[in-house]
Amino acid sequence: MPGKGEKTAFNLKDVVVLTAGPGWVKDPQERGVSVSWKIGCGDSITESEKSYVSVGHLKSASQTGAFKNELRSPVVAWHVTYGRVKHRQVVRVRRQALAQTPMPTSAFVTPTSAIVTQVIGTPTIARSPTVFTVTPTATRIIPSPTQTTNPYGPSITPIIPITTVPPPNTKPYIYIPINNLTAVINVPFTFYIQPDTFRDKEDGQTPNLKLDMYDPQGNELPPDFWVKLDKTSQSLTGIPKVLDDTEIALIVTDSKGLMSMLLVITIRVVLKNVPPVLINHVDLIPLYIGQPLVFKVPEDTFHDEEDGPTPKLRLSMKTREYEILDALSWVTFDVLSQTIYALPVGDLIGKHEFLLIAYDSTGKKTIDAFEFHINPAPVEPNHYFGLKLDADYKKTFEKSVTMRVKLCVEIGKYFGDRFNTSYQDIRVNGYREGSVILEWNFANIATNVTGVEDYKRKYVREDTMDTPFPKFKEDFVCPISPKCSVVETWVVMVEQVTTTPDPNVIGRADDDDDGTWWEYTIIPAFVIAALIFIIGLIIIICIRCRRKSRLDKNEKVVFVQRKKPAVFREEYPMREVYGNQPLITPNEKAPLPPPAYPRSSTPTEDPSERLLSDSSPSYQPPFDSGHEPAGNSRPPVASYRLPPPYVAP
């Protein structure tokens, strides 16, 4: 309906709202129509007319929904306005009358009945937190003619002008807000603004509007701000450098220049998310056949940079073939407590491999492979303990490994309070239906007859064979159900059979598809020996090739076929010349001849001396004989010559 100063279908001006109120519909979902009519006329209206009966009827009919049945549409809001009539030139109509002269009347004559109008067009309805306003669009009102009685002449038809009200433009608004975003430090960040983030009734969704980015207070961002707005693709891009939260504000403008409210978005900058890290392997879990196990995964098994240690991660356990554990009957994993429950009974001796998987909050995972080594009992026990419980075997015991292990834990608690034992000493022989029957022995007293008798006195009444000990029946807590109770207890002694434990069983796999023990000892030893032999052979070949490569062409001719070296002339050692000949130097001269003495024929002359002097030749230096070793080209060595003969004076 029109407000103050707006035009109406009745051509009023300076409109004043007298009274108004909400209708039957509080949250309109569709575009509606505007209906108006007159309840009076004149240049003024008195205060008493505000309480006119029709005004009260209008208020009640709008709020109670009475108009819905008549108008076939719910009412959003109503109001009563007052305005002055624009004065127009009086329209005179020439008419012919038989008896009376026609008198012209004003176009605005008080009608005797309500004006029925037909409204064409749809208005838009905007809602504020406290005031309901109706915004009309182009409305065309077509009045239906009514007859008015004139005592002075025939009736005339009032002329109602057609008024067109242009619809006002509305501001864009936030339709689907954007939640907080996450960016990784030093990693390119891109986020595309969704088309339905903003809406405008005239222009449509976000792609048809002008998008801008500011800080949360609506101020301009600095030029070096790490988040950039691409107005063409309407996306946020950038590379965060600081590990901190960033707040930005988006705003859109329609084609008429109207702006929406600020949409504040927080971008959380985090470290790069990496999968959890395996710190300590579970590796190996040894068990004996029939031994119950409660194994809680240690807190330091995995660690995640974002989520923390193992309790903060989500764990799961699967087989080596990556299958779930539902098909197995002896092992299970509790996700909430991160605990492994196992009770191997039957033909399960050997190695069994499983996978422990850790997931972080983003779904990234790390896998740890570990093994169960199930070994046979080292000795055959000489007793069996039996227990019968009043419980449902099919629903709560047969298919629940956790329930069977917890039953063994409760039995261990009862005997542990009275003896030095625990549930880990229990070796389950089997369980069967009727209701629930469990048989086991204690490994710590497997062959101890006295110990068995001590346990028996705290378990079975001495005067009976199957009646539970009263204290056991009182203190034992059945984990199967609150209504579970002990029916019978018994202890059976059996003949002990001595068995020799196989030393190869502990810590090895059985003869199955996974291989036998010698595959883990003999084969690796042969492989290592072969590798050592090959490495040694390669080293020898390399050494021989290196020796040959050191000789060049000139050095190779030095060696003969038999590897005898050639000795050069300068390399021969000087040999000492042994003999009686004197050493003669190259520039040595011959000695002077002996002095000549006159010969005399005295009788005292010795004839032998004269013969010696006559027959001895003059002294000559020795000559070089030239006898040298074959192949020796060294210079001849001068020898000593004999001294001259002695001549008596």
The DSSP line for 100-118 is S------S----SSPPPEE
| Higher pLDDT among residues 160 and 406, named by residue | 406
Q: Is 203 left (phi over 0), alpha (psi -120 to 50) or beta?
A: alpha
Beta strands 302-304 and 308-309 are antiparallel
Per the listing, tokens 């050191």 go with 550
Diameter of the chain measured on Cα atoms: 240
Q: Where in the chain is the domain with CATH 2.60.40.10?
A: 173-270, 277-375
Indicate the residue type of 249. A
pLDDT, tens digit, 9 for 90 and up, residues 331-365: 999 999 999 999 999 899 999 999 999 999 888 99
Residue-level pLDDT at 387 = 92
Residue-level pLDDT at 634 = 55
Above 60 in pLDDT, residue 645?
yes
Separation CA 479–CA 438 (nearest Å): 14
Specify the 3-state DSSP secondary structure of 512: strand
C-beta separation of 318 from 367 below 8 A = no
**pLDDT mean across residues, the chain:** 75
Above 70 in pLDDT, residue 491?
yes
* Token pair for 285: 């879990």
Separation CA 42–CA 58 (nearest Å): 21
The predicted model gives 46-53 an average pLDDT of: 48
Above 50 in pLDDT, residue 375?
yes
Per the listing, tokens 């975003």 go with 181
Which phi and psi angles does 585 have, rounded to 5°? -75, 160
Residue 248's pLDDT band, with cuts at 50, 70 and 90, is: very high
The predicted model gives 213-230 an average pLDDT of: 93
Residue-level pLDDT at 1 = 37
Q: How many helices (H) and strands (E) does the chain have?
A: 9, 30
Residue-level pLDDT at 547 = 67
pLDDT, tens digit, 9 for 90 and up, residues 67-100: 666 666 777 777 777 776 655 554 454 544 444 4
Task: Count the Cβ atoms, other than its own, within 10 Å of residue 339.
Answer: 17
User: What torsion, rounded to 10 degrees, do the Cα atoms 189, 195, 199, 204 define?
Assistant: 140
Residue 155's pLDDT band, with cuts at 50, 70 and 90, is: very low
| Maximum mean pLDDT: which of 107-111, 293-297, 552-556 | 293-297
Above 70 in pLDDT, residue 373?
yes
C-beta separation of 29 from 101 below 8 A = no
Residue 250's pLDDT band, with cuts at 50, 70 and 90, is: very high
Residue-level pLDDT at 361 = 87
Above 60 in pLDDT, residue 128?
no
User: What torsion, rounded to 10 degrees, do the Cα atoms 356, 360, 364, 367 define?
Assistant: -20
Q: Describe the chain by its helix, strand, coil percentages, rounded to 5.
A: 20, 25, 55
Q: Which of 381, 437, 375, 374 is nearest to 404 (CA)?
A: 437
Residue-level pLDDT at 57 = 66
| Maximum mean pLDDT: which of 95-104, 316-325, 517-526 | 316-325
Beta strands 204-205 and 181-184 are unpaired
Separation CA 501–CA 507 (nearest Å): 13
CATH of domain 277-375: 2.60.40.10
What CATH architecture does domain 173-270 belong to? Answer: Sandwich (2.60)
Question: 12 - beta bridge partners?
Answer: 85
Separation CA 99–CA 600 (nearest Å): 235
| Higher pLDDT among residues 527 and 515, named by residue | 527
Which phi and psi angles does 374 have, rounded to 5°? -100, 120
Q: Which segment of 149-153, 182-186, 636-640 scores lowest on mean pLDDT?
A: 149-153
Separation CA 520–CA 371 (nearest Å): 15
Task: Count the Cβ atoms, other than its own, within 10 Å of residue 194.
Answer: 13
Above 60 in pLDDT, residue 180?
yes
C-beta separation of 440 from 408 below 8 A = yes
Residue-level pLDDT at 277 = 93
Q: Which of 337, 339, 279 is nearest to 305 (CA)?
A: 279
Residue-level pLDDT at 551 = 58
The predicted model gives 169-191 an average pLDDT of: 91
Per the listing, tokens 């008896």 go with 99
Separation CA 593–CA 271 (nearest Å): 120
* Token pair for 498: 């001595």
Question: What percent of the chain is modeled with pLDDT above 70?
Answer: 59
Residue-level pLDDT at 176 = 92
Question: What percent of the chain is modeled with pLDDT above 90?
Answer: 36
Residue-level pLDDT at 216 = 92
Query: How many residues in total does the chain contain?
Result: 649
Q: What is the DSSP string of 373-407?
A: EEE--SS--SEEEEEEE-S-HHHHTTT-HHHHHHH
- Give the C-alpha distances (Å, rounded to integers) separating 342 from 285, 316, 413: 11, 15, 18
Residue-level pLDDT at 576 = 53
Residue-level pLDDT at 553 = 58
Q: Which of 166, 169, 162 is nearest to 138 (CA)?
A: 166
Residue 299's pLDDT band, with cuts at 50, 70 and 90, is: very high
